[in-house]
Amino acid sequence: MQRIRITAYHPSSNGIVERFHRRLKEALKCHNATWTEALPLVLLGIRNDIKEGIEAAPSELVCGTTLRLPADLVEVHDRQLQHPTTDFVANLKTRMQTIQFTKTTCRKEQQVYVPRSLHTAKFVFVRVDSVKKPLQPPYDGPYRVLSTGDKYFKVLVRGKPNTISVDRLKPAYVEANAPLTDDSQPTNSIRESPQANQTDADARLVENTTTRSGRKVKFPAKYCDLVKSTNKPDNS
């Protein structure tokens, strides 16, 4: 048995499983209070539903034959309930053949935009598909690309190789003199400008000032110019 692995946060890789989960949830929404009691009956109906592509029911592929259904599913409810007879199997088979199964429809797949320069990029940004904080950026990175493929890349994330789908990647254009570590740590933190550093340094500076009443106070450096301008004597 060959086990096929898929990338994280890429539900389209398991399209059949995701469609089954969606169909199961839609059926259980009609029984919010007693969904645990309705679950076996819903699964019984899904397992006996004939698939359009293979023209067979899942139970036929697993057990070789369809599962035996209760009489309530095939008999008309307004009629009087009859006891099973020797012809019950033949009647059940005839009734099941007259049931009109609803054919499943396949929706058109949404095309994901992939930049042309992605397969030649040496660094990429990775989209965050998990629950994000209010001010968290939508992408992490840049991260170094180890190997490329048609559907997934192998990226070095925090010192460990990680396989990521191309749907979550975006090429990163890094400057030649930009400092990058070997483990490609994300650089989403805001760089402090020299002006901000100078402001923080000036805020720590204090100056002794004597007010008109004779009190000695200490103002932050960013307010010293304002204090000096207000304390200047009027030459007029």
Q: Give 165 or 94, the one with higher predicted confidence.
A: 165
**pTM of the model as a whole:** 0.40
Structure tokens at 113: 């935009």
Q: Output the pLDDT for position 25.
A: 87
Q: Give 226 or 134, the one with higher predicted confidence.
A: 134
Q: Give the confidence band of 208 by pLDDT, cuts at 50, 70, 90.
A: low
Tell which CATH classification among 2.30.30.140, 3.40.50.1100, 3.10.20.30, 3.40.50.12640 matches the domain 119-191.
2.30.30.140
Closest CA to 40 of 69, 16, 14, 80: 69
Tokens 């053949």, residue?
Answer: 97
- How far, in Å, CA of 35 to CA of 30, rounded? 8
Q: Where are the domains of the chain?
A: 11-98, 119-191, 194-230
Q: Give 199 or 9, the one with higher predicted confidence.
A: 9
